[in-house]
Structure 1
Amino acid sequence: MTTLDVHMPVAAQTGIDPIVSYGRRAEADGYDRLWLPETWGRDTVSVLTVLAERTDSIGLGSSILPVYSRSPALLGQTAATLQEVSGGRFRLGVGPSGPAVIEGWHGVEFERPLRRTREYVEIVKQVLSGERVEYQGELFQLSGFRLRGEAPTPAPPIDVAAMGPKAVELAGRFADGWHAILFTPEGIRERLEDLHRGAELGDRDRNEARVTLSLNCCALEDRERARRLARQHLAFYVGGMGTYYRDSLAGQGYEEEVAEIAAAWGSGERERALEAIDDAMLDDLCAAGTPEEAREALERFERVDELDAVAVGFPRGAERAEIEATIDALAP
């Protein structure tokens, strides 16, 4: 059965307290897990630590911690610590992110992202085992590190945030789950084939990996406002976040649309970028409209076989009351 999570908003919030209030609201509403990506603004680890202290039972996860901004050993320590402070509620999500973030924000060369992600997953698993880390990879050669104190029991599972075929295959082969974003229902179904191939290459059960989709949602009585916010969010990801999302959507049948959106966005014509997203495309990628419409759209994704969780996300331009209204409207 598909569970419902919450993908916490990444746009600038006025403080930690509103973020915590979303988490508590989601917990009270019966959601299964809170996911928080690391992009700009507050770092994910600190916020998850606060959420761990101020919630009681809801699961916690990093939908993505980039594998270029922390060493693999430090990431293992971080995962162990978050598992401890959360009382065993943590799930680690990692991924390469993209050149716009890694090179533009962190000043690190975006090289060999797939190999780097694989080695991070392997090293973090060694760290979390509590045994001495001895690793000889193509990118990392480590020796002698070991956690002081007890290793986390159970060790937090590790998901890979991925969009492309080889990245999803990697998740199936080496990780405990796949975290997807910006997929249509049919796009998810197609990419599951890559996850299965990875599981076969790793001699693993094809159903072992947990699959989570973060979905852009906005459920408001003001239908037009909800759909405009969802359009703005989608246009931003296509036009302003590098080529990864464009390539993924082009592969899902929207090549002409993403080219038009990107061109309009790049020339500063934001309204034209929004107009390039017709209703069919919006409904294929988002759950936006009245509460009834958004709930119906969400259920289309919940019906995808082998999709274990849908994480209700929010448009980056949504105000606090609109985020809270969506959390309540789409609650399990």
Structure 2
Amino acid sequence: MTHRSVHLPVAAQPSLDALVELGVRTEELGFERAWLPETWGRDAVTTLSLIAERTSEVGIGTSILNTYSRSPALVGQTAATLQEASNGRFRLGLGPSGPAVIENWHGVDFERPLRRTREYVDIVRNVVSGDPVNYDGDVFDLRGFRLRCDPPETPPPIDVTGMGPKAVELAGRFANGWHGLMLTQDGLEERLGDLERGADLGDRDVSDVQVSLLLTCCALEDGEEARRLATQHVGFYIGGMGTFYRDALVRQGYEDVANEVHDAWNDDDREHALSLVREELLDDLVCAGTPDEVAEKLAEWEAIDGLNEIDVGLPRSADRDQIDETLAAVAPENR
């Protein structure tokens, strides 16, 4: 059975306590895990520490910590600490993010993203093992680091987030899991082929690599409002987040519309950009509408062979009532 988890929103939360309470709510509703990306909102480490303290069963995880703003040794310490704080419920998601985030927000050159991510996986595993870290890589050269505390009894799994063929191949070859996002069903099937190729290169069984998909959902009795919120969300990510998501859609056969949305958004014609996110594109990327419509669409995704977990994402402009309505509608007990 495909698990259902929640990808906690980074926007539209009035306080840290409100965001943490959403994490608590995921446990109450029976979701597998509460994932939090670290982008431009509250930092993932503080937030997940509080969720771990206020829950007892739900897993917690970073859907992405980028591999530029923290050193790999620090990420290893963080993973060990969150695994201790959650009594073994933590899962680490890593990824390079994209140049718009890394260069513009963090002031770091976006160089060798795949090799850098590969070395992060190696170093973090070394750190959480408790052994001395002596690493001679192409990007990192480390000597003499070692945890000054007991290492986790069970090392946290390490997932890689990626959208391109080589990034997904890397996950299949070296990571415990892969996080996909902004994918159509056909696009997911194609990336699963990349994952299997990577597993073969690593002499691994692809079934040992957990596949998690971030799938934006909005299930409201007012189905038209749900679709409006989802359209705004998709338009923002295509147009407002550099070229990362645009390029992912180009790879999946949406070259014309992806470029048109991106260009209109960056020309400050947001209304026109959103008008270009037509029904076909919206239905290929998200589950939005009435609860019954969303349930039917989710069932289609969950039937895809090789998909282990759907991470329910929420439109960036959804308010707390709309978030609560959606989470209740798609809770595991309601499938």
Q: Do both proteins adopt the same fold according to a TM-score greater than 0.5, normalized to the shorter chain?
A: yes
Confirm or deny: 8 A CA contact 1:36 1:62 kept in the other structure. yes
2:71 counterpart of 1:87: no
Query: 1:63: which partner in 2?
Result: 63
Partner of 1:231: 231
The corresponding residue for 1:152 is 152
State the Cα deviation string for residues 105-127 of structure 1 (Å, max 9, x = none): 00000000000000000000111
Provide the secondary structure at the position in 2 that maps to 1:280. Answer: helix
**Separation (CA, whole Å) in 2 of partners of 1:325 and 1:242:** 31
Tell me how far apart the structure 1 counterparts of residues 17 and 74 of structure 2 sit (CA, whole Å).
27
1:280 aligned onto 2:280:
yes
The normalised TM-score by structure 2 is 0.98
Q: SS at the partner of 2:79?
A: helix
- 1:320 Cα offset (Å): 0.6
Mapped to 1, the partners of 2:2 and 2:72 lie a distance apart of: 31
Asked whether the 8 Å contact 2:30–2:331 carries over to 1, the reply is: yes
How many Å separate the matches in 2 of 1:250 and 1:311? 23
Pairwise mapping of residues 175-214 of structure 1 onto structure 2 (< 5 A)?
175-214=175-214
Decide which moves more: 201-210 or 76-85. Answer: 201-210
Give runs of ≥4 in structure 1 deviating > 3 Å. none
Does structure 2 retain, via aligned residues, the 8 Å contact 1:12–1:41? Answer: no
Deviation of 1:207 after TM superposition, in Å, equals 1.1
Indicate the larger mover: 269-278 or 207-216. 269-278
What residue in structure 1 maps to residue 116 of structure 2? 116
Q: Is the partner of 2:10 in helix, strand or coil?
A: coil
Please list the CA deviations of residues 293-327 of structure 1 after superposition, one character each: whole Å capped at 9, or x if unmatched. Answer: 11111111111111000011100000010001100
Cα distance in structure 1, aligned partners of 2:135 and 2:301? 40
Gaps of 5+ in 1: none
Structure 1 counterpart of 2:321, one-letter code: A
Asked if the contact 2:12/2:317 (under 8 Å) is kept, the reply is: no
Deviations 1:211-255 (A, max 9, x none): 000111100011111001000000000001011111111111111
Per-residue deviation, residues 66-99 of structure 1 (Å, max 9, x unmatched):
0000000000000000000001000000000001
What letter corresponds to residue 107 of structure 1 in structure 2?
A: G
Measured in 2, the distance between the counterparts of 1:295 and 1:26 equals 18
Quote the offset at 1:42 in angstroms. Answer: 0.8
1:37 equivalent to 2:37? Answer yes
Q: Say whether the 8 Å CA contact 1:160–1:171 is kept in structure 2.
A: yes
* Matched AA of 1:223: G
Structure-2 separation of matches of 1:80 and 1:272: 47
What does residue 9 of structure 2 align with? 9
Distance, in Å, in 1 between the alignment partners of 2:15 and 2:187 is: 36
Which residue of structure 2 lines up, in the alignment, with residue 321 of structure 1?
A: 321
Q: Secondary structure at the match of 1:40?
A: coil
Given residue 126 of structure 1, which amino acid in structure 2 is its aligned partner? N
Tell me, what secondary structure is at the counterpart of 2:310?
A: strand
Cα RMSD after superposing both structures: 0.8
Corresponding residue of 1:309: 309
| Offset of residue 149 of structure 1 | 2.0
Distance (Å, rounded) in 2 between the aligned partners of 1:236 and 1:230: 10
The 3-state SS of whatever aligns with 2:213 is: strand
Quote how far apart the aligned CAs of 1:12 are: 4.0
Secondary structure at the aligned position of 1:97 is classed as coil
Which amino acid is the alignment partner of residue 118 of structure 2?
A: R
Counterpart code for 2:189:
R
Rounded to whole Å, the distance in 2 between the matches of 1:290 and 1:143 is 56
Q: Percent identity?
A: 60
Q: Corresponding residue for 1:18?
A: 18
Question: Residues 23 and 51 of structure 1 are in contact (CA less than 8 Å); yes or no, is this contact kept in structure 2?
Answer: yes
**1:46 match:** 46
